[in-house]
Every structure is written in structure tokens, then in C-alpha cells.
Amino acid sequence: MKTILITGSNGLLGQKLVDLLHTEASVKIIASSRGQNKLAEIYPQVAFVAMDVTNAEQVEEVIAETQPTHIIHTAAMTNVDDCESQRDECWKQNVEAVENLVKASERHGVHLIHVSTDFIFDGENGPYTEEAEGSPVNFYGESKLAAEELVKQAACKWAILRTVLVFGIVHDYGRSNIVLWVKGSLEQGKQIKVVNDQLRTPTLAEDLAQGCWLAAKYDAQGIFNISGEELLTPHQMALQVADYFNLDKSLIEEVDGTLFAQPAKRPPRTGFDITKAKTQLGYKPHSFKESIAIVAGQIQ
């Protein structure tokens, strides 16, 4: 029996992990988040504990009390522009929190699974393998790379799962994603500008949750790329969304990133080679078209 503590259980990935694992007979899950449990009504049988990962004493107390075999750390500050302008808060949530989890995992012999990002790279040589050296172009990427270094030095079992442009639908509150944004805009007859000079391997949140579970299931150690397999621009993604819902593609204007004044620089070409995860973990992501269909089926 594995006891898996999920940090950030109110977030997109955290919710998908609870969705996936609450019926897994060989797993006891403990959901945790800073705020109140947003999944309480949907999964009343799932244990929940309030935990602020930036509070070292609270992290130690919760891990000592719950005695997990694995932690899947999904909590993070992920708004790239907010990270650029709120650097102290970004460092606290993305680096100091990881240090707290590493120390507690070392003390209690917990296998720590840490979720990282393609934004640790400069985007000059994507798609990347697990061996590529990080070279971030924004502060979010710097914070996530620093967190990776802490995990790599940990004296406990660890795995780092890097991912790219995660999208999906969450319960209970209105976080948008590229599928919902394109669908909603085109249905309202709005012209939208979508960039054609950034390349990513977009990742369905359910696929990332599956990758996290496989890493825990097989006690995986080391770095694994967990993303979609298709290298696409946001413009290409938008066209696929329009096709799926039979919406007017002429409303989609192809532009380059220089049109948008964003505080944080974006790496131009990232994306991942996922061969290692496929061969060692049996990871198998959905195509982007299949992913659109899954999201469409969840729209209320």
C-alpha cells in the first residue's frame, strides 16, 4: 500500500490526481492545500489536511503525522508574469517550499516527486531531453531550476517530472485554458490574436496526473519528461480547437510574440522528448485532438 500526500490538491494537477487515485485500491491519498478543501463535496472519502508548504514547521508536523510513502508536489506559483514582478513571493513558494519538503522527506524516508517545467530552458534548442542543461530566461524558470537543484541533492528517493503548457478543467472555479479561451472567443464572434513563434508540447492535465502516478507506482528515480508528444505553436493549437468545435477559423489572427508586452520573457521553442517516460514508465499521452475531446466532455 502506498500513502501519497498531494500538495496543491486544489489546483489543476492536484485535482486530477485526486480524480485518478481515489479509486486506486493500492493507494491511500492525503490531499493537502493552503486553503479549504475544494473537493470535499465531490470526494468526501478522501483525507484532507491543511498545509502551507512555505511553513517549515507545518510541513514537518503534517508529514510526521500522516507518514506518507510518497509526496507528489504540485503546489507552485506558476503565473510567469507575477513571478517576474513578485520575486520574493515566487522564491518563497517555488524554492523555499521545496527546501521544506526535501528536509521533511529526508527525515521521514519519503519518496519526493517534484513537478518542474520546460521554462527552466532558454528555448533555443527544443525539444529537450532529460539530460539538457537548464538556462532560464525569466524568474519563474530560475526559481524552478533552483528547486530542481535542491531535489537533486536530496538524501531521499526523488523524481523530477518536467512538463509543458498544462491545460484542463478544474472543479469549482473558473481557471481558463487555451481550449476554453479559443472556443469561447470564437463562439462570441471575437477576433483573437494567437502567436506562431513559440513551440510547445502541450500537456493534458489528466496525462500529467497519469505520469505522476506512474512515477509513484514504480518508485521512479531521476528526471522524466512528462508532456504531450506533438510540437505545436499556440496558433496551431487554436486552429485545432476551431476545427473540433466547427468554429470560424478566419477569426484567428496569426501574430508573433513581439505584439504582446509581457513582463516575463518566454522561451521560443521548448517541448520535450518523452522517450524515457514512455519506455521506462509506460507513459502514453493523448494526442492534442484527443485532449480537446476530453476537455470538451467536461465543459459544464
What confidence score (pLDDT) does residue 169 get? 94
Q: Quick one: pLDDT band at residue 257, thresholds 50, 70, 90?
A: confident
Does position 300 have pLDDT exceeding 80, yes or no?
A: no
Arithmetic mean of pLDDT, 197-209: 97
pLDDT score recorded for residue 90: 98
Q: Is the model's pLDDT at 248 over the cut of 70? A: yes
| Structural domains of the chain, ranges and CATH numbers in brackets | 2-168+202-229+270-286 (3.40.50.720)
Asked which of 51-65, 146-160, 245-259, 277-291 is least confident by mean pLDDT, the reply is 245-259
Over range 105-117, report the average pLDDT. 98
Average pLDDT, the chain: 96
- Say if residue 83's pLDDT is above 80: yes
Specify the pLDDT at position 35.
Answer: 86
Q: What is the pLDDT of residue 16?
A: 97
Give DSSP secondary structure letters for the chain: -EEEEEETTTSHHHHHHHHHHTT-TTEEEEEEESS--TTTTT-TTSEEEE--TT-HHHHHHHHHHH--SEEEE------HHHHHH-HHHHHIIIIIHHHHHHHHHHHHT-EEEEEEEGGGS-SSS-SB-TTPPP--SSHHHHHHHHHHHHHHT-SS-EEEEEE-SEE---SSS----HHHHHHHHHHTT--EEEESS-BB--EEHHHHHHHHHHHHHTT--EEEE-S-S--B-HHHHHHHHHHHTT--GGGEEEE-GGGS--SS---SB--B--HHHHHHH---PPPHHHHHHHHHHH--
* pLDDT surpasses 90 at 261: no
pTM above 0.95, yes or no: yes
Report the percent of the chain where pLDDT is more than 90. 94
Q: What is the mean pLDDT of residues 9-24?
A: 96
pLDDT above 80: residue 245 = yes
pLDDT of the residue at 174: 63
The pLDDT assigned to 173 comes to 61
The 10s digit of each residue's pLDDT in 179-194 is 999 999 999 999 999 9
Residue 260 has pLDDT above 90, yes or no: no
